[in-house]
Structure 1
Amino acid sequence: MTAAPPPPPRDSDAPDAEPRHKRERRKDARPGELLDAALDLFVEKGFAATRVEEVASRAGVSKGTLFLYFPSKVDLFKAVVREAITGRFDEWTAELEHFPGDTADLVRECMLRWWERIGNTRASGITKLVMSEAGSFPEIATFYTQEVVEPGNVLIRRILERGVRRGELRDIDLDNACHSIVAPMIFLTMWKHSLGPCCAVQHLLDPETFIRAQADILTHGLLKPDARKPTP
């Protein structure tokens, strides 16, 4: 009697088979993996030098798969910025609305939280990238201005308007006051991605100490004399 043929292998018996639910989870994770890989490479190499093939390879997918999610390198960069930075503004705005302290405390806290959530992360390299390559890629410079610079200035302006409204700040040029608060954070970003990694100068600057000093200088220069108080 001829032996019955063996049953077809189950998915778990086939070396290259993958359960459907696992494949679906993998597909859902791909955009995040691509964005993570792209952020690493943009910060390491810059926009011009980063190739989409490298991003796909680092994420473990084909270039064709990458283009299913992001039609171009510019679209990929925009998605990275939205994921790493722009998505934080709603959170920061909500925190502003419920902050219990005075304006000096709020300015300092805003700067410290920026350092914790952006400046001290890989995302801070995006700022250096844009400043370095804006002239060659005006589209990404315009996008960064609209998605990061302008919302950031709006948020800082609201902080300062709150201080004026509460009688803690004198009547000031709010636009330039916003630049004064942003400038130390840009300095920290450029330091971190240039001189900061050098052993010979690492000890010259502690970011949180620098931020507290800058916040103290800025707010005590803006406060009315009768509203001044020591900064903890």
Structure 2
Amino acid sequence: MTSTADTEVPQGGRVARRRDRRKAEMIAAALQILSSSGYQGMRFEDVADRADIAKATLYHYFPSKDALVSEALEKLTTDVLVRLSASLDATQAQSATDQLRALITEQLHILTVLYPEVGTLFSFPAPWPEEHAEAIKTMRRRHDTTFRNVVERGLASGEFDCADPSVALHALHGVLNHASIWLRPAAGDDTHEAVVDAAMRLFTRA
């Protein structure tokens, strides 16, 4: 016979999951406001309203606006890099062309479906305090390295043909970030594929 203790879900685990969900909701609300209003326009009151919580509850999780912004930016970057790394892992045995296509496809999905805030937060100049400006530069470098390593592999193998890889990478990110503004999730697969094809032509022979 199974005892009640054996079937009960540990209370601590349930509480921790509820806390994590609530924290994730606050971070999501902060990212939405940051992307639409910028750092200067983000207020704790607005984040609390969007997350449907009391302002005091928000302070319980994050002691300051900068603490919330720092954690939101880091979580966003980590989530994006994890997804890009998974795309690389799935194409590990394939060519650099296939790997780059997989990265571009996933980045486009991130920008248009999962995290449309990425394009706004990381692409365009904004009056960030020095603490966050430096962190954003570091996050951009981490992101760029993921793509750059594949591009360099393709150049070494002769798959890619671009005179200046840095210029091509800047153009790539410009194409994808701009796509996050005009390309909506409801757009057909053909449209998304056309964007990926156009981006690939920055690196491959005609």
Alpha-carbon separation, structure 2, partners of 1:27 and 1:75: 17
- The structure 2 residue matched to 1:155, chosen from 139, 142, 146, is 146
Change beyond 3 A, Cα 1:124–1:58: closer
SS at match of 2:204: helix
Give the unaligned 5+ runs of structure 2: 1-10
Query: Which residue pairs with 1:67 in the alignment?
Result: 59
Q: Is the 8 A contact 2:162 2:168 kept in 1?
A: no
Query: Over residues 60-101 of structure 1, what are the superposed CA-to-partner deviations in whole Å (9 max), with x where a residue is unaligned?
Result: 332222123222223222222222333331442353255233
The number of residue pairs the alignment matches comes to 191
* Higher Cα radius of gyration: 1
CA RMSD of aligned residues (A): 3.2
Change beyond 3 A, Cα 1:160–1:25? closer
Counterpart in the other structure of 2:175: 184
Q: Give the number of the structure whose residues are more often helix, by fraction.
A: 2
2:42 maps to which of 39, 47, 50: 50
Q: Is the 8 A contact 1:56 1:63 kept in 2?
A: yes
In the alignment, the residues of structure 2 paired with residue 79 and residue 167 of structure 1 have an alpha-carbon distance, to the nearest angstrom, of: 41
Match of 1:104 among 92, 97, 101: 97
Q: 1:29 to 1:154 in 2, by over 3 A?
A: same
Amino acid at match of 1:220: T
Q: Using structure 1 for the length normalisation, give the TM-score.
A: 0.66
Please name the residue that 1:173 is paired with: 164
Q: 1:208 to 1:170 in 2, by over 3 A?
A: closer
Secondary structure of 2:113's match?
coil
Structure 1 residues 139, 24: CA separation in 2 closer, same or farther (over 3 Å shift)? closer
Q: Deviations over 1:18-68 (max 9, x none)?
A: xx7776654343211211222233334333222111212332332222123
Aligned partner of 2:194: which letter? T
Match of 1:220 in 2: 204
CA contact (8 A) 2:151 2:160 kept: yes
Match in the other structure for 1:36? 28
TM-superposed deviation, 1:136: 5.3
How many angstroms apart in 2 are the aligned matches of 1:128 and 1:160?
24
1:5 maps to what in 2?
A: none
Given that residues 39 and 127 in structure 2 are in contact (C-alpha distance below 8 angstroms), is that contact kept between their aligned partners in structure 1?
no
TM-score for the superposition, normalised by structure 2: 0.73
Secondary structure at the residue paired with 1:46?
Answer: helix
Report the counterpart of residue 6 of structure 1 in structure 2.
none
* Paired amino acid for 2:105: L
